[in-house]
Structure 1
Amino acid sequence: MAKKRFELDKDALPQETPLYFLDLIKHRDLSAAIAKTFDVYHESPQLLLIKDGKCVYHASHGEISGEIAAAHID
């Protein structure tokens, strides 16, 4: 549900924003590495906004919003 809502909302992001969908349930090792690298607690579903190698915004479940993420891009 969060993914579908984000897909409808992603037009709020600048068009050149790269988006990646990772299935971290199937790849627990990758999930752990991402959580450690960006110092976030893994949740699913989750949105991470990475800028200059740092996580500048993260949200999960009902908090996932393209509009809010877009506000953190500038």
Structure 2
Amino acid sequence: MMAKRRFELDWDNLPEEMSLYFLDLIQHRDISNQVAQLFQVHHESPQLLLIKDGECILDQSHGEISVEDTLVEIS
């Protein structure tokens, strides 16, 4: 929850057209496995995946999660 709260503090800096989704993948392990397989990432929690044009272009977890890095990737 700490990583989510820290990210939420900077949500206003994200472009309006960027959709954000919070998935509780610990409660839904089947979805977690599908996401990991589809985007070829190792599941961690908490984790931020930035998906652009159907590909995962940024994969961060725990203390690495930042709006600043996300903004760099989408520019």
How would you bin the TM-score normalised by the shorter chain? Answer: over 0.9
**Is the partner of 1:44 in helix, strand or coil?**
coil
Unaligned runs of 5+ residues in structure 2 are none
Note if contact 1:2-1:64 (Cα within 8 Å) is conserved in structure 2: yes
Alpha-carbon distance in structure 2 between the residues aligned to 1:10 and 1:60: 17
Deviation at 1:70, TM superposition (A): 1.0
One-letter amino acid matched to 1:9: D
Alpha-carbon distance in structure 2 between the residues aligned to 1:63 and 1:9: 14
TM-score normalised to the size of structure 1?
A: 0.95
Deviation at 1:66, TM superposition (A): 0.7
Alpha-carbon distance in structure 1 between the residues aligned to 2:11 and 2:53: 21
One-letter amino acid matched to 2:67: G
Question: Counterpart in 1 of 2:57?
Answer: 56
Identity of aligned residues (%): 64
Deviation at 1:43, TM superposition (A): 0.3
Note if contact 1:13-1:67 (Cα within 8 Å) is conserved in structure 2: no
Alpha-carbon distance in structure 2 between the residues aligned to 1:48 and 1:58: 5
Deviation at 1:14, TM superposition (A): 1.0
Question: Counterpart in 2 of 1:2?
Answer: 3
Displacement over 3 Å in runs of 4+: none
Deviation at 1:11, TM superposition (A): 2.2
Does structure 1 residue 17 correspond to structure 2 residue 43? no
What is the total number of aligned residue pairs between the two structures?
74
RMSD of equivalent CA atoms: 0.8
